[in-house]
Structure 1
Amino acid sequence: MVRVKIYKDFNVRKQHQNGIILIGNFDGLHLGHQKLFNEALRYKKKFKLNLGVVTFDPIPKMFFNKEIKNYRISNFNQKIEYFNKYKVDFIINKKFDKTFSKIECNSFIEKYLYKKLKSKFLFVSNNFRFGYKRKGDVILLKKFQKKFNYNLIKPKPLIKKNKIVSSTLIRNYLENGKIEIANKFLSRKWSIEGKVEKGRMLGRKIGFPTCNIDIKNYVIAKPGVYSVNVKIEKNKKTFKGIANLGFRPTFNQKKILLEVNLFNFSGNLYNKKLSVDFKKFIRGEKKFKNIDQLKKQINKDILSAKK
């Protein structure tokens, strides 16, 4: 059940004004984001204020570059789950469109942060940019603190293994098959959530029935085979399995697809929502000469995943 109140614009209820506001995409809600949220929670408790998040859909980078399709670490439903864990009271999920992109940075501060939200504390990252042509930054926000009656809080970035923990860094680890490092920086297993679709039933024909999931806008992790944990909606049990993320070169498929084979499960999962947690990268994608070679390799993959 969704506890957090979701708005599509800045016209929030009076009870959600005069609070703490965090602004950003918060894609993945990784350790760096978690540090920011933990600090905001400290302020929430100390000053007894509501905690709100301003985020954008699509991610501005995807809006400005239409060629970027597979970029998200988390979908919106997953974000809601994460925000609930951090006791967020409300979210403004603002549609990022041409009109909104042309708002001057000074107007954004005065019209939205001051007049609409009456923000008391503002949490942003050091590299936060906003307003037309991204002219607004933390220096500008700091400059207008007294005039618009808010306090700017910008915690230092989190550094792990001499690297700043960021969504970009995690995408890079995923794209290079370093799932275990990505999971450490997320503090949980990276997960793709989606509905099971009817496919060509190729897995069933060769003796390994799979659930086909369209990955939509998720970042494309390194194509190949992974060991996974799978949760089925309205089912409290977690199933182990293997997943193939890729183009199935043996079958000349052109669309990227996530195929999941669940261990010790039988039943129809069409149109059911699955949450697939990626544990370990087993091997890269490969084209096989024939079906027998493919079947032998899948058996090896299953043994590796079970180990």
Structure 2
Amino acid sequence: MNTIDFFEAYKAENPAAITIGTFDGVHVGHRKIIENLIEKSDGLSTMLLTFFPHPRMVLQQDTGIKLINTIEERIQLLNKTGLDNLIVYPFSKEFSRLTAKDFVRDLLIDKLNLKKIIIGYDHRFGRNRTANIDNLREFGIVFDFKVEEIQAKEIDDVTISSTKIRKALNEGDIATANAYLGYEFMLTGVVKSGKGLGKTINYPTANIHIRESYKLIPKQGVYVVKSIIENSTVFGMMNIGTNPTVKGTEQTIEVHFFDFDENIYDKNIQVSLISRLRDERKFQSVEKLQEQLLKDKTQSLALIETYNAY
């Protein structure tokens, strides 16, 4: 897949079959749409046009918006779908003021070489999002491209799935989230040095810093996780929380990897969430915390053994 961070001089060489959307999560429903695009592309180059930052971040200055994927994670997932091209278009207030005609003519036709578009029945575009699929069909006649409507049920399934995934993650229901995603929910960040408290109780942790404030972080608690570190799969248990037993106040994301002692400070790492063990709790003492961590590790290893059997 060719990933293009759009720039003004860009022009697609090959005529394209295009779909448009945020595709946050790149979940099972999204992948059905992409499969549909590829299947019905009629030999055209397949292309997904997505936008970043999210329009709500720009138009509403919505700093509270939470997305299932960072843009890098979204690209990583889309790269596995069989798409020929991904266009990441920089969304701005200026871009939002384009009329529907300007959007179609100047971007879709002149820049992206549109010949066929596969789009949802409820898709809105142009200034103030006033244009719809009927307007798109009219433009298709004028500019000579085909319009194919994605069935309402498929679009509704995508919306329902996205809502259920976010709800499940906020409730710590990783099993449901992963089922709708079709893969294990991931967190990606840089390993930073923490207070080193884990080492003092024989549970050293990698403190993961996620720079994207818009990334959805699941409910606080203890999770079974895995990572690929230098081409090897490493399992562990992760705590999302404030470490109340040692009077912590800020939320951290800390992973204790099993049978692993490499130095990974300042390295990028991606953690996939397999299962959730329990809520974070405040224990009466550090010794009681250690007892619980041993139980967590035993339970984690049992779950990992089952996981590896499938």
TM-score, normalised via structure 2 length: 0.87
- Cα deviation for residue 157 of structure 1 reads 5.3
Task: Report the secondary structure of 1:144's partner residue.
Answer: helix
Q: Deviations over 1:175-223 (max 9, x none)?
A: 1111111111111111112221111112222221111112333202111
- Cα deviation for residue 260 of structure 1 reads 0.8
- Cα deviation for residue 236 of structure 1 reads 1.6
Q: Which AA in structure 2 matches 1:25? A: T
Which aligned pairs between 1:1-307 and structure 2 lie closer than 5 A? 3-9=1-7, 11-16=9-14, 18-44=15-41, 47-69=42-64, 71-156=66-151, 165-215=160-210, 216=212, 217-232=214-229, 235-307=230-302
Task: Report the secondary structure of 2:191's partner residue.
Answer: strand
- Cα deviation for residue 33 of structure 1 reads 0.6
CA spacing shift, 1:293–1:142, aligned 2, 3 Å? farther
CA spacing shift, 1:284–1:227, aligned 2, 3 Å? same
CA spacing shift, 1:188–1:13, aligned 2, 3 Å? same
Moved more, 102-111 or 50-59: 102-111
- Cα deviation for residue 283 of structure 1 reads 0.9
Q: Answer whether contact 1:41 1:86 (CA < 8 A) is retained.
A: no
RMSD: 2.3
Q: Which AA in structure 1 matches 2:27? A: H
Q: Which AA in structure 1 matches 2:227? A: V
TM-score, normalised via structure 1 length: 0.88
Mapped partners of 1:199, 1:147: distance in 2: 60
CA spacing shift, 1:226–1:89, aligned 2, 3 Å? same
Moved more, 209-218 or 6-15: 6-15
Mapped partners of 1:275, 1:258: distance in 2: 12
Mapped partners of 2:87, 2:19: distance in 1: 10
Mapped partners of 2:158, 2:99: distance in 1: 33
Structure 1 unaligned residues grouped into runs of 5+? none
Q: Deviations over 1:242-295 (max 9, x none)?
A: 111123233444443211111111121101221111011111122223222222
- Cα deviation for residue 25 of structure 1 reads 0.9
Q: Which AA in structure 2 matches 1:38? A: E
Q: Answer whether contact 2:23 2:30 (CA < 8 A) is retained.
A: yes
Structure 2 unaligned residues grouped into runs of 5+? 303-310
CA spacing shift, 1:250–1:69, aligned 2, 3 Å? farther
Q: Answer whether contact 1:10 1:117 (CA < 8 A) is retained.
A: no
- Cα deviation for residue 164 of structure 1 reads 5.1
Q: Answer whether contact 1:32 1:158 (CA < 8 A) is retained.
A: no
Q: Which AA in structure 2 matches 1:6? A: I
CA spacing shift, 1:53–1:254, aligned 2, 3 Å? farther
CA spacing shift, 1:105–1:251, aligned 2, 3 Å? farther
